[in-house]
Amino acid sequence: MAAMTDEGSSIDRTRPSIARVYDYLLGGSDNYAVDREVGDVFKRDLPGSVAIAFANRAALGRAVAEIVTTTGVRQFIDLGSGLPTADNVHQIAQRHAPESRVVYVDNDPQVLAHGRALLAENDRTRVIAGDVRDPEHVRAHPETLRLIDFERPVAVVLSAVLHHMKDEEDPAGIVRYWRDQVPPGSYFFLSHFRSGDNPETAEAEGILQRTFGRGRWRTDEEIEALLDGLEILDPGIVPAPLWRPDAAGGPGLSGGEQGVTVWERLIAAGLARKEG
């Protein structure tokens, strides 16, 4: 996660982007050679690790579908949303409830350019330039205020973003800010790299830290602490494929818990609710 960028910032093709590497691992085409070089390290040196990206994406899809089909929440803020792929938050939410509104937030110029082009004709969805670490900017952005009614419940999406924040950047404080901004009945979806106390964890964490100068794996207890003050819903903080695998909205787990690979266990997911 780089520093916050201007709306008009140019795309730097000489440095890898977290969003573009993720896009490459998911099979997308919005990436450059420098991004593929990083992605290929995972593919070549850590075979099977690409499953992390797919497990995370599938859990996000299930969570959005569950929120929109089982609650009255029709507003989403997706922080650190990344490049558009198939079955984005707005596509899943609006498939079930066309009136759903989504604000995507990212600081990558390519994410902003592609997202705006994709969503130009969708007046219930916007992509804004913002940094997860500057939540007040996101909260006060005119497009946020146009689409999101903070008097009504909101779903806040923090998918695979807080593990790019160092402890001193206070990721728990980011969640706490949004918890205080939204009313009771709001939901928080969180996914996060999960410490596995194994060689795979150490090697994957090392690659991200060497490449981007950041990246912090956390234990289940540390991830749970990020959601302090919220009610963590069943089944709790679990490996992403084990998060409500039978829920609507995307592929879940086949083969039961035994079918979860060591890599898939390195991404945890959870859904929490703000109580009254």
* Res 30: pLDDT: 79
Range from 145-159, 196-210, 248-262 that averages highest in pLDDT: 145-159
- With contact defined as beta carbons under 8 Å apart, do 127 and 47 qualify? no
Domains and CATH numbers, the chain: 18-273 (3.40.50.150)
Mean pLDDT score of the chain: 86
- Strand runs labelled E in the chain: 75-79, 101-106, 125-129, 155-159, 187-193, 231-232, 238-239, 267-273
Residue 142 burial (CB count, 10 A): 9
Q: How far is CA 90 from CA 33, 104, 107, 232, in A?
A: 29, 9, 19, 24
Q: What is the mean pLDDT of residues 138-161?
A: 97
Q: What is the pLDDT of residues 41-61, one digit of tens each?
A: 878 877 777 888 889 999 999
Q: What is the pLDDT of residues 73-98, one digit of tens each?
A: 999 999 998 876 678 899 999 999 99
* Res 1: pLDDT: 32
